[in-house]
Structure 1
Amino acid sequence: MRTRWRAGLAAVGVVFVLAGCSAGQGTSASTADSAGSGPVPVAPQQGSGKAGPEKVTPPQPGATDRKLSRSARLELTATKVVDVVAQARGIAQGAGGYTGQESTGDDLATLNLAVPADKLDGALDQLSHLGTSLVKRELNTQDVTEQVVDVEARLATQRASVERIRALLAKATSVSEIASVESELTSREATLESLEQQRNSLAGSVAMATVAMTIRSVAAPPPPPEDHSGFLGGLAGGWHAFLVFGGGLLTVLGALAPFLLFLVPLGWLGWRLYRRRRPVPAAVPEPSES
C-alpha cells in the first residue's frame, strides 16, 4: 500500500516538473519573439572616423526675401562739365531710369539719377569712368523689411477698421449718429491714405535706387612732352628755333615800321638839302707844258 502511495506521489511530481519546464520554454520563446520583432538598437562604432549625418535647419520663411533700399553718391572732375552731364543722363535712361533734380553750370553740376535697383552696380561702373577722374564713390544699403511688414500689417488693420465704420454708418438712423460716424470714418480714411503713401514710398525706394552726382570742372592736363632725340628730333628743334627767330625778327620790324614811315622821308629830304647846299669844289687848272 505504501509502495503504491509513493509511486503516485512520484508520478505527480514528475508531472509538475514537466509542466514547469514547458512554461519556462514558452516564456523564453515569447520573450525572444518579442525582442526579435522590435527594433534592435545598434551601438555606434568606435574609431570609424565618420560622423553621423548632421541635422540641417531649413531657412525660415522670408529670410532671403529682404527689402533693401540702395543709394549711391559719386563725385567726379571733368574738363567739360556739360558733356559729362549729358553722358550721365544717357546712362541712366539706357538702364531704364530717369533724371531727377539737376543744376548745371560751367564749373559745377549736381544731378540726381534714378535707376532700377538690380541695375545699380552696372550703372555705377559706367558713371565712375566719366570725366577726368573719380574723386569719391559711396554705396549705401538700408534694410527696410521690418518697415514694410509693419506698414502692411497696419494697412490690413486700418482697412478692417474702415469697413467696420462703414457698416456702422449704414446702420445709423439719427442725424447725430450719422455725423459722429462720418467724422470717425473720415479720420480713419485719412490714416489709411497716409499708410498707403508710406507703403508706396517704401516700394519705390526698394524698386529704384538713387545716384547723387557732383561734377567739378578742372583744367585740361598739359600735353606730354615731345621726344627731341635723334636726327628727326634735331631737325624739328632747328625748325622750331628758326620759326622763333623769324617770328622775333618780324616782331621787331613790325615795331619799327611806324617810325620808319616818318624817319625815311625825313632822312631823304635832309640828304637832298645837304646836296644842294654843299659848295661845288673849284676846278684845278691843268699845268701847262713848257
Structure 2
Amino acid sequence: MTTMGAGMDGRAGWRRGALLTATAFTATLALAGCGAGDSGARDSAASAPERAVAEGGAADRNSGTDAAGAAGAGAPDLRVDQRAIIYTGAMRVQVTDVDTAARDVSAMVTRAGGFIGGDVRRSADADAVAELQLRVPAAKFAEVVEEVAKLGQQQSREINTQDVTEETVDLEARIISQRARVDSARRLLGRATSITDLVSLENELGRREADLASLEAKKRRLADLTALSTITVSLAGPAAKASGEKSETGFLVGLKGGWKAFLASMTILLTVLGALLPWLVAFGVPLAVLLLVLGRRRKTPAQTAPVSAPPQVPAARSAP
C-alpha cells in the first residue's frame, strides 16, 4: 500500500509540473503577441512623410554607393590623348583684301568640319577689318590656326587651353546619383496615400528633376566646348592700325588732321548749299524781281500842288 501511494503521488506531481510549464509557455506567447501588436500599431501610426524621408535617405545612400561604384568601375582613360581639354585661340592677320581672306577662312573652316560662329566687318577700303569667330573640331584646331596664319602677315597669336577632365568625371558621377534620387522620389510618389504626402513628394520630385536638368545642361556645355574649339580671327587691311598701336603726334600730324577737317567741313558746306540751291532758285528769283519793281516805283517823282506866296506885311510907319 505504501508503494502504491508513493507511485500515485509521483504521477500527480509530474502532471502538476507539466501543467505549470504549459501555462507559463502560453503566457509567454501571449505577451510576445501583445508586444508585436503594439509595435505594429506604433509603426502603422507613423506618418507617411516620415517613412518617405527614411526610405528616401536609404535610397539616396544606396544610390550614392551605386554611383560611386559605377564611377569607379567606368572610370575613363586619363591619358593625355583621352583628356577633356578646351582649346581657345585669338589671332590677328594683316591681308591685302579682307573680303577675299574672309571667304578663304570660311572655306577652310567648312573643310575642317566646323562653322562660322560670328562675323563682324568694318569696310573702309585699305583699313577694313573683319572679326570672325571660328568653331572647329578640337582635332583640327592647330591645323586651322596654321592655315589662317598663311593668309597674310600674322601680327599676333594667343592660344589657351583648359583641362576639364576631372570636372567632367565628377559631373558624370553627380548625374548618375541624381538620376537615382529622382527614381526613388518617383517610386515614393506612386505609393502616396494622402493629399499632403502627394503634394510634398511632388515638390521634392520637382526639385530633384530641376537639379538633374541643371547638371545635364552643364555636361552638354562642357561637351560642346571640348568637341568644338573657338578661334577668334581678326583680318585687317593694309592701312588698318593694330590694336594697342600708339597714335602719332606732332606738327605735321596736326596739320594733316586740320586739313582733313577743313576738307570735311567744305564738303558739308557744299552739300548744304547744293541742297538749298533749288529752293533759292524757286523762291529767290521771284522775290528779287518783286523788290526791283517796288524800288523803281519809289524813284518816280511825285506830283506836288503849287505853293502860293506868303502875303506881304506893310512896314510900320515911324512916329514924327
Residue 232 (structure 2) aligned to one of 198, 206, 212: 212
Query: Is it true that 1:111 corresponds to 2:116 in the alignment?
Result: no
Residue 158 (structure 2) aligned to one of 120, 138, 145: 138
Tell me if structure 2 keeps the 8 A contact 1:81–1:105: no
Residue 125 (structure 1) aligned to one of 130, 146, 158: 146
Distance 2:218 2:142 in 1: 26
Residue 186 (structure 1) aligned to one of 203, 206, 215: 206
Letter in 2 for 1:194: S
Tell me if structure 2 keeps the 8 A contact 1:77–1:134: yes
- Deviation of the 1:163 alpha carbon: 0.5
Query: Is it true that 1:94 corresponds to 2:111 in the alignment?
Result: yes
The aligned residue for residue 159 of structure 1 is 179
Letter in 2 for 1:128: A
The aligned residue for residue 62 of structure 1 is 77
Distance 2:211 2:151 in 1: 46
Distance 2:78 2:95 in 1: 44
The aligned residue for residue 80 of structure 1 is 97
Distance 1:141 1:61 in 2: 20
Deviations 1:204-260 (A, max 9, x none): 11111111111222249xxxxxxxxxxxxxxxxxxxxxxxxxxxxxxxxxxxxxxxx
**Residues 187 and 201 of structure 1: is their aligned pair in 2 closer, same or farther, counting only changes over 3 Å?**
same
The 3-state SS of whatever aligns with 2:224 is helix
Question: TM-score, normalization: structure 1?
Answer: 0.53
Distance 1:138 1:105 in 2: 23
Distance 1:166 1:149 in 2: 26
Identity between Structure 1 and Structure 2 (%): 36
- Deviation of the 1:61 alpha carbon: 7.1
The aligned residue for residue 199 of structure 1 is 219
- Tell which structure's C-alpha radius of gyration is larger: 1
Higher helix residue share:
2
Letter in 2 for 1:62: D
Distance 2:134 2:78 in 1: 30
Tell me if structure 2 keeps the 8 A contact 1:82–1:104: no
The 3-state SS of whatever aligns with 2:216 is helix
Distance 2:239 2:218 in 1: 46
**Residues 61 and 110 of structure 1: is their aligned pair in 2 closer, same or farther, counting only changes over 3 Å?**
closer
- Deviation of the 1:82 alpha carbon: 1.4
How many residues get paired? 160
- Deviation of the 1:112 alpha carbon: 0.6
Two-structure CA RMSD over aligned residues (Å): 1.7
Deviations 1:78-125 (A, max 9, x none): 232111111111110010000001111212211110111111111111
Deviations 1:11-61 (A, max 9, x none): xxxxxxxxxxxxxxxxxxxxxxxxxxxxxxxxxxxxxxxxxxxxxxxxx97
Letter in 1 for 2:174: R
Distance 2:189 2:209 in 1: 14
- Deviation of the 1:168 alpha carbon: 0.7
Letter in 2 for 1:63: L
**Residues 217 and 61 of structure 1: is their aligned pair in 2 closer, same or farther, counting only changes over 3 Å?**
closer
- Deviation of the 1:159 alpha carbon: 0.4
Which structure 2 residue ranges, 5 or more long, are not aligned? 1-74, 241-320
Q: Which runs of 4+ in 1 moved over 3 A?
A: none
